[in-house]
Amino acid sequence: MRKLAIERPFKRRNKVFNRIYEGLGSPGRIAAVDFGSGGIKIIELEKSKTNYRFVSLLYEELTPEARKSPELKKEFYRNFIRQAKESKKITSLDIFAVINSPQIASVLLEIPKVSSSDLSAFIKTQTSKQIPFDSEQNEVFFRINRAASKESKGGKIKVVSVVVPKILIDEAIDVLKSNAFNIRGVFVASEAIDILPLYTKAASRRDTYAILDMGYKCSFLNIYRGGILEFIRSVNVAGEHLTASLLRTLTIDDKKIIIAAEDAERLKQECGFPLDEEKEEFIGDLKKSYIQAMLKPTLDRIINELRRSLNYYSHFLGGREIKKLFITGGSANLLNLDKYLENNLGVEVSKIAPLKIVKGIEELSYTNQEFMEAAQESMSACLGSVLYNPRRINLIPKSLLLEQRLNVFKIASAILVVLVGFMSILFYSLTFGQIYSYQRSLKKVKSGYAKLAPAERLIDKYNKLKAEFRQKKSMISSVINRQPLWSAILKEFTNITPEGVVFKEVLLKNGKVKKLLIKGEVYPLYTTVDVVFSQFITALAASPFFSDVELISRRQDEYSLNPKIKFEIGVKLVY
């Protein structure tokens, strides 16, 4: 696979939308068709970010009958495209289209700033002043030349306006839709070739250059500065005029030579425009000087048109001097045309040679290589339409754009439904698999649990015996622990209790240290209450059987006739 890396002057926009479109056809491939006045051209390219390679390159001239009848021409286009698809020479579903006709007219306007709501109507009005047209039969398309508008004096806006017959757009769209294509763009030829010199690197953005596109029925001249369109001019000489200038009946040396239409086309391809040093040579029975004499008036008309346009641009529009003129289109293949124009215009003239942008033409076995190399200028508009330029005027009707987006939405919705269904089935499968796995694990656990049942019973029996053992051990410990000597304690109370102190209640509180709560009364007969109670407290504190004497409460008995108090005392037992 042969590829050529190229530095792209413009970046592609709407990446998401383009990715969806690319997914509908062959991945990474894009096609283009040129509905020319003299024939149909189709190319298909395989593309990546920086590379292009030919997949298909097809060219077929219109039959004489198709050139005269619009209906036959349309049917010729339709059948040719259908055969290309059926033979798999075109596999992409995405396609760009180029239309060209003498009925298409372009004009460069300079208008004041107006509101966006009035802009379209204002441009159509200004266009009609320079190009009279029937609004019912024609459509006006325009784009604002923003880069040129910034340099405009007085804050005016520069607009490129194109008048296109509706029937041309409808016919191109109908032919492509009948062959099930996704139409990515419809361009006029003057818009499609705009950046070819930049891609071929024959010109740079610093240059001021002109492009002369010579078709079969019409020609036009565009002048660019820095890649920006600054001048548009229709040229009233095209390929059919060159052919007509050769349609003669000559009598040379009493020999009658009739040049028919087929002979004229053959002479254009094989002989071209003979130079002065070739005048004495012969092609068949005809001296080349006769061919030169027949073609020269027509070519001089082209030269006069070009000279007048270039001078007008340079001197009256304040443009720079043009040093490069590129010629392209089917009639640009006329041999020696570039040399004759260069000698008479005084500027460098060269062909664009668009096929050198993309490699791979030699790999197309079904293509006549020599013919395609010689006729490559006729492929310029077709190839240029594929090379994306966001500043071009796209002739696709809004209704078709809406229809295509709805189709994309339908396809995306269908894909989404399939994905949701697939994800649902996948989720169900994973869930079912997990449930099955859990059931198997649970079955294994139950089986293992059943095997451990005897051991579990032994463990329960062990825990029960262990609890009983601890209970009995606690009871035995409570019996064999040290206990207070109650007989000695009672005798001690008898010895230390003064006369007049009466115990009402003695309570034992168990814990780590046993305590006694003593409740009683004091009512002495011969001494004061306080003296007796103090003696009792002192005796308790001094006793070896008690410690930590605590007076909990002490209150006077108000209803007693004699002095009397009630008390509560807490003591710890020492044993």
Q: Looking at residue 152, what is its pLDDT?
A: 62
Q: At what angle do helices 239-246 and 288-311 cross, to 10 degrees?
A: 150
Q: What is the pLDDT of residues 33-63, one digit of tens each?
A: 999 888 899 989 887 766 778 888 888 888 8
pLDDT at 78 over 90: yes
Where residue 357 falls among pLDDT bands split at 50, 70, 90? confident
Q: Looking at residue 361, what is its pLDDT?
A: 59
Could you say which DSSP state residue 550 is in? Answer: E
Distance between CA atoms of 119 and 125, rounded to whole angstroms?
A: 10
141 DSSP β-pair partners: 162
Q: Looking at residue 525, what is its pLDDT?
A: 77
Distances in Å between the alpha carbon of 327 and those of 176, 209, 211, 389, 427? 29, 11, 6, 20, 63
Helix (H) / strand (E) containing 224: strand 219-225
As to burial, measured by CB atoms within 10 angstroms (0-12 exposed, 13-18 middle, 19+ buried), residue 439 is exposed
Half-sphere exposure of 461 (CA within 13 A, CB side): 6
Across residues 179-208, what is the average pLDDT? 87
Where residue 83 falls among pLDDT bands split at 50, 70, 90? very high
Instruction: Answer with the residue of higher pLDDT: 367 or 216.
Output: 216
Percentage of residues in the chain having pLDDT higher than 70: 88
Give the pair of three-digit tokens for residue 157: 């806006």
Q: Looking at residue 528, what is its pLDDT?
A: 85
Q: Looking at residue 339, what is its pLDDT?
A: 92
Across residues 98-109, what is the average pLDDT? 90
Q: Looking at residue 216, what is its pLDDT?
A: 86
Across the beta sheet with 138-144, the strand order is 105-111, 157-165, 138-144
> 31 phi and psi, to 5 degrees?
-120, 165
Q: What is the pLDDT of residues 264-309, one digit of tens each?
A: 888 888 888 998 888 888 888 888 888 899 999 999 999 999 999 9
Instruction: Answer with the residue of higher pLDDT: 171 or 321.
Output: 171
Q: Looking at residue 365, what is its pLDDT?
A: 55
DSSP H helices in 156-213:
166-178, 189-192, 196-199
Across residues 216-229, what is the average pLDDT? 87
Of 61-65, 178-182, 512-516, the one with minimum mean pLDDT is 512-516
Residue 179 in contact with residue 85, Cβ under 8 Å?
yes
The radius of gyration of the chain's CA atoms, rounded to the nearest angstrom, is 55
Where residue 80 falls among pLDDT bands split at 50, 70, 90? very high
pLDDT at 368 over 60: no
Residue 375 in contact with residue 333, Cβ under 8 Å?
yes
Distances in Å between the alpha carbon of 445 and those of 431, 439, 451, 481? 21, 10, 10, 50
Where residue 8 falls among pLDDT bands split at 50, 70, 90? very low
Instruction: Answer with the residue of higher pLDDT: 148 or 248.
Output: 248
Across residues 545-573, what is the average pLDDT? 87
Where residue 188 falls among pLDDT bands split at 50, 70, 90? very high
160: three-class secondary structure by DSSP: strand
Distances in Å between the alpha carbon of 22 and those of 29, 307, 414, 477? 8, 45, 17, 92
Could you say which DSSP state residue 312 is in? Answer: I
Distance between CA atoms of 226 and 429, rounded to whole angstroms?
A: 62
Instruction: Answer with the residue of higher pLDDT: 428 or 146.
Output: 428
User: Helices then strands (H, E): number in the chain?
Assistant: 17, 22
Could you say which DSSP state residue 235 is in? Answer: E
Where residue 150 falls among pLDDT bands split at 50, 70, 90? low
Q: What is the pLDDT of residues 439-485, one digit of tens each?
A: 888 888 888 888 888 888 888 889 998 888 888 887 776 666 667 77
Of 407-411, 459-463, 494-498, the one with minimum mean pLDDT is 407-411
State the residue for tokens 């008036």: 297
Taking residue 299's Cβ as centre, other Cβ atoms within 10 Å add up to 21
Q: Looking at residue 446, what is its pLDDT?
A: 84
Full DSSP string of 462-486 = HHHHHHHHHHHHHHHHHHHS----H
Per residue, the 3-state secondary structure of 57-117, as one string, reads EEEEECCHHHHHCHHHHHHHHHHHHHHHHHCCCCCCCEEEEEECCCCCEEEEEEECCCCHH
Of 86-90, 408-412, 430-434, the one with minimum mean pLDDT is 408-412
Instruction: Answer with the residue of higher pLDDT: 355 or 234.
Output: 234
> 420 phi and psi, to 5 degrees?
-65, -45
Give the pair of three-digit tokens for residue 481: 């622990």
Across residues 372-397, what is the average pLDDT? 80
The residues, ordered by sequence, that sit 6+ positions from 32 with a Cβ below 8 Å of its Cβ are: 42, 43, 44, 95, 96, 97, 98, 382, 383, 385, 386
Q: Name the residue among 33, 99, 115 with its Cα closest to residue 383.
A: 33
Q: Looking at residue 370, what is its pLDDT?
A: 59
Instruction: Give the chain's mean pLDDT.
Output: 83
Where residue 18 falls among pLDDT bands split at 50, 70, 90? very low
Residues found in the chain: 575
Where residue 99 falls among pLDDT bands split at 50, 70, 90? very high
DSSP H helices in 209-354:
239-246, 261-270, 288-311, 337-345
Q: Looking at residue 333, what is its pLDDT?
A: 86
Across residues 363-385, what is the average pLDDT? 70
Collect contacts of 130-139 with beta carbons under 8 A, ≥24 apart. 131/105, 131/107, 131/163, 133/105, 133/163, 137/165, 137/166, 137/167, 138/163, 138/164, 138/165, 138/166, 139/163, 139/164, 139/165, 139/166, 139/169, 139/395
